[in-house]
Chains A and B, each alone.
Chain A
Amino acid sequence: MRHGRWRFLLGALAPALVLHVVFVLSPYAQAFYLSLTDWTGVAGEAHFVGAGNYARLGGDSLFLDAVRNNAVMLAVVPFATIALGLGLAALLRTRRGSAGYQIVYFFPQLLSLVVIGVLWSFVYNPNTGLLNSGLRAAGLGPLARSWLAEPDFALAAVMAVLVWSSVGFYVVLFRAAIEGIPRELYEAALIDGAGGWTTFRRLTLPLVRETVQVAFVYLGIAALDGFAVVQVMTVGPGGPDGATEVIGLSLYRNAFSYGRFGYASAMGVALFFATLTLAVLALRSGRRERLELA
């Protein structure tokens, strides 16, 4: 009986395990190995070059631009998205017709990132775009810019799109978390004379902290990527002059345009560890907070 059960379990697990090994673990392992070689992507052989590719990373000014931009995105995108998402979700709690709003907020999530990139590049068009036309119509003509072509604004324009595209999902997520807070607590707060802001800060926020932490990990990973939007929207892409370069784009260019798969793999491995570190740090800080609460 016991023997048969093991056989059944093994039979059920094996296909999934094999698929996982072939399509997930093996590509990872190959990327780690390739990052130590000079593989060109078309040669049948690769030569071992040790840590050479990693040493190059430090001297590659475009890659350093990419790291800087990803760091800026990491500092801005998660916080802006979470702030907006939480704010909107908290407002929805008290408003009528919130279900309708919730659906509207969710719309961007239904579009693919490429479509979003194309739409927003129309919005940012300096001559006929919605943004500049709107500014001119409102008498704010001097504020009109070549949003994607000026180094000072290009990255901000990209980040705005990233925030816009993800905020709806987090509104829905946070709203679900807020729904889970017992109604009596809000009633008690109301009786105690707490205003809207105090209720949000002292009641809602502490009780959805866990959700916010998870959201932070997801958004952090998204901020370390940004490839699709940058590739579709920006000048160059990645420009002007590296102003919107992201690690994913550098990686793509080195692999597929320059035929440097080994070097690109090194970038991929570096990005992998950055993402992993971020996730571990974010979740660890979560653990400490919870201990304090308990």
Chain B
Amino acid sequence: MNLEPQLRPYPTRRALLKTAATASLTVPLLAACVTSGAKEKTTQQTGEKTAGNPLGVKADAPLEVVVFKGGYGDDYAIKAEAQYTQRYPEAKVDHKGLQKVGEAMQPRFVAGDPPDVVDNTGAGRLDIATLVGAGQVGDLADLLDAPALDVPGKKVRDTLLPGVVDDGTFGGATVALNFTYTVWGLWYSKPFFAEKGWTYPATWTEMLSLCAAIKKTGVAPWTYQGKYPEYINDPLLSMAAKTGGKDLIKAVDNLQPGAWKQDALVQAATAFAELAGKGYIMSGSEALSHTEAQAAWCQKKAAFIPCGSWLESEQKGVAPAGFDMVMGVVPAFAASDAVQAASSESFLVPSRAKNAAGGKEYLRILFSKASATAFAQANSTLPAVAGATDGLTLSSGLGSVRDAVTAAGDNTFTYRFRTWYAPLAKAVDDATGELVNKRISPADWSTRIQKAADALAKDATVTKYTR
């Protein structure tokens, strides 16, 4: 191997030019493949719309469902498929439970041959804003206005928790329905707090004095999943939203000039800089992965950890018996029940699906109360359907999440910029990581993010959304 370059003559200038010429001739030929997807309109298979069949499903049209088979498995989706077959016995249902939905679906979208329902979830899912921009997802308006399957007198739209329809709406059209409902807050162990005599703080001032008390006992007040700074972003942005209200969120999401310089945002950044500055964050957190930080928290090395409502199921087997974790809403300067909540596990019906009516009918079945209740029971996760957990005995964590949602009522909020503009989300995450590691000041934090937001607003190649 070491002698090879010595013996082989180096390419001469002529050989190089010849190769270049050949390449330039063949490139256009070879390059023609990737984007030559079918452009003709797909013929939709539809049947007659009746009271029992409000979406006009063609009874014998085959249905293809692609589901993300992750933490929740895909049994819940298979159950809904069985129900679909019950209603339309002639239809052949093709089920695919996949881990890498994006990888498998990308070529099918490109080729114009997508399935009828896609659960676009999990690591490596397709960017929903990109799918919308490419016109690959269908409008779900008729599904939302169809009567709900098992809640008499209500439309599907009215059976969903607040914000679910908005979460799937891009530029006025609802193109995705999210099946699970995630709430973000601060988690702690109820028995641990009771044992130490700590009470969950209602305001940020109380939080700081509690942190001082916790620190004295040798326990770190906070830890966070430092390897992924977005985790500490959530409580920071929640706090800002609770002070600044929906107008603040709107300004941020609509990329308004100066949106990130609003007082409430700078105040929240200052609060978190102070949290870090006073040494209330467990040292080393900044380099821990989510599993490492959450494990340290379960070992009671830290009192609080910010996370979404999936934490309880994620820590199954890690949290010791009797840990009984609960979620509290992020305290702001004034006490408030408002909570950051958004739906995820997003189901969509591709615009070029052959059996779009069937796809929507499938979602009507999946989003029925009975199906959602079964899901909640099996996965201890809040589904996006209102009242799905009524009458169930819930674990400590899920119970606290449901209580937070009930207490908040219409006071739930969510930022949309993360799904609309992924590059801006990255800029915010990076800046917040620097902020809580005391490498930039709150003023620098807002200036930096504002600059990224302004650049995005000016970029004509990015599709913009407003709310």
A residues neighboring B (CB under 8 Å):
21, 25-26, 29-30, 32-34, 37-46, 62, 121, 124-127, 146-149, 151, 173, 176-177, 180, 208, 210-211, 213-214, 234-236, 239-242, 253, 256-259, 283-284, 286-287, 290
Contacts of A177 in B (CB 8 A): 2
One of A30, A126, A234, A239 near B284 (C-beta < 8 A)? A126
B residues neighboring A (CB under 8 Å):
1-6, 10, 23, 26-31, 33-35, 37-39, 102, 106, 109-112, 124, 126-127, 129-131, 133-136, 226-229, 283-284, 286-289, 292, 296, 422-423, 426, 429-431, 433-434, 437, 439, 461
Contacts of B130 in A (CB 8 A): 40-42, 258-259
Contacts of B433 in A (CB 8 A): 235-236, 239-241
- A214 near B2: Cβ-Cβ < 8 Å: yes
Given A42-B126, A44-B112, is A210 in contact with B6 using a C-beta cutoff of 8 Å?
A: yes
Contacts of A151 in B (CB 8 A): 439
CA gap between A257 and B134 in the complex, in Å = 15
What distance in Å separates the Cβ of B211 from its nearest Cβ neighbour in chain A? 20
- B39 near A45: Cβ-Cβ < 8 Å: yes
CA gap between A32 and B31 in the complex, in Å = 8
Contacts of B29 in A (CB 8 A): 29
- B286 near A146: Cβ-Cβ < 8 Å: yes
Given A44-B35, A46-B35, A283-B10, is A235 in contact with B127 using a C-beta cutoff of 8 Å?
A: no
- B39 near A30: Cβ-Cβ < 8 Å: no
Instruction: Return the 4 tightest CB-CB contacts between A and B, nearest first.
Output: A259-B130, A44-B37, A33-B31, A126-B284
Contacts of A29 in B (CB 8 A): 23, 26-27, 29-31
- B229 near A286: Cβ-Cβ < 8 Å: no
- A241 near B430: Cβ-Cβ < 8 Å: yes
One of A40, A283, A287 near B134 (C-beta < 8 A)? A40
Name which residue of chain B comes closest to A235, CB basis.
Answer: B227
- B287 near A126: Cβ-Cβ < 8 Å: yes
CA gap between A21 and B31 in the complex, in Å = 11
What distance in Å separates the Cβ of B48 from its nearest Cβ neighbour in chain A? 31
Contacts of A213 in B (CB 8 A): 5
- A148 near B30: Cβ-Cβ < 8 Å: no
What distance in Å separates the Cβ of A290 from its nearest Cβ neighbour in chain B? 7
What distance in Å separates the Cβ of B69 from its nearest Cβ neighbour in chain A? 20
One of B5, B133, B461 near A283 (C-beta < 8 A)? B5
Contacts of A121 in B (CB 8 A): 289
- B287 near A25: Cβ-Cβ < 8 Å: no
- A176 near B226: Cβ-Cβ < 8 Å: no
Can you list 13 pairs linking A and B with CB atoms under 8 Å apart?
A: A29-B26, A32-B31, A33-B31, A42-B134, A42-B136, A45-B35, A126-B288, A210-B5, A213-B5, A235-B433, A241-B431, A258-B127, A283-B10
- B102 near A235: Cβ-Cβ < 8 Å: no
What distance in Å separates the Cβ of B172 from its nearest Cβ neighbour in chain A? 20
Contacts of A148 in B (CB 8 A): 227, 287
Contacts of A176 in B (CB 8 A): 2
Q: Which of A25, A38, A41 counts the most B-chain CB atoms under 10 A from its CB?
A: A41
One of A239, A241, A256 near B124 (C-beta < 8 A)? A256
Name which residue of chain B comes closest to A286, CB basis.
Answer: B5
Contacts of B10 in A (CB 8 A): 283-284, 287
What distance in Å separates the Cβ of B127 from its nearest Cβ neighbour in chain A? 4
What distance in Å separates the Cβ of A194 from its nearest Cβ neighbour in chain B? 24
What distance in Å separates the Cβ of B223 from its nearest Cβ neighbour in chain A? 10
Contacts of B134 in A (CB 8 A): 40, 42-44
CA gap between A21 and B30 in the complex, in Å = 9
CA gap between A148 and B437 in the complex, in Å = 13
Q: Which of A147, A236, A283, A287 counts the most B-chain CB atoms under 10 A from its CB?
A: A236
Name which residue of chain B comes closest to A122, CB basis.
Answer: B292
Given A42-B110, A126-B287, is A236 in contact with B2 using a C-beta cutoff of 8 Å?
A: no
- A214 near B110: Cβ-Cβ < 8 Å: no
What distance in Å separates the Cβ of A114 from its nearest Cβ neighbour in chain B? 14
- B434 near A26: Cβ-Cβ < 8 Å: no
Contacts of A286 in B (CB 8 A): 5
Contacts of B39 in A (CB 8 A): 44-45
CA gap between A241 and B422 in the complex, in Å = 16
Name which residue of chain B comes closest to A282, CB basis.
Answer: B5
CA gap between A34 and B289 in the complex, in Å = 35
What distance in Å separates the Cβ of A40 from its nearest Cβ neighbour in chain B? 5
Contacts of B129 in A (CB 8 A): 259
CA gap between A29 and B130 in the complex, in Å = 24
Q: Which of A121, A173, A259 counts the most B-chain CB atoms under 10 A from its CB?
A: A259
Q: Which of A43, A211, A234, A287 counts the most B-chain CB atoms under 10 A from its CB?
A: A43
Contacts of B228 in A (CB 8 A): 235-236
- A235 near B287: Cβ-Cβ < 8 Å: yes
- A240 near B31: Cβ-Cβ < 8 Å: no
- A290 near B6: Cβ-Cβ < 8 Å: yes
- B30 near A26: Cβ-Cβ < 8 Å: yes
CA gap between A148 and B35 in the complex, in Å = 40
CA gap between A240 and B229 in the complex, in Å = 9
In addition to A42-B126, A127-B284, 18 A-B residue pairs with Cβ atoms within 8 Å of each other are: A26-B33, A33-B31, A33-B34, A38-B461, A40-B134, A42-B134, A44-B112, A126-B287, A146-B284, A173-B1, A177-B2, A211-B2, A235-B226, A239-B433, A240-B437, A258-B423, A259-B126, A259-B129
CA gap between A210 and B1 in the complex, in Å = 10
Name which residue of chain A comes closest to B124, CB basis.
Answer: A256
CA gap between A236 and B426 in the complex, in Å = 9
CA gap between A210 and B4 in the complex, in Å = 9
CA gap between A125 and B284 in the complex, in Å = 8
Name which residue of chain B comes closest to A46, CB basis.
Answer: B35
Q: Which of B4, B5, B124 counts the most A-chain CB atoms under 10 A from its CB?
A: B5
What distance in Å separates the Cβ of A128 from its nearest Cβ neighbour in chain B? 8
One of B1, B284, B288, B430 near A236 (C-beta < 8 A)? B430
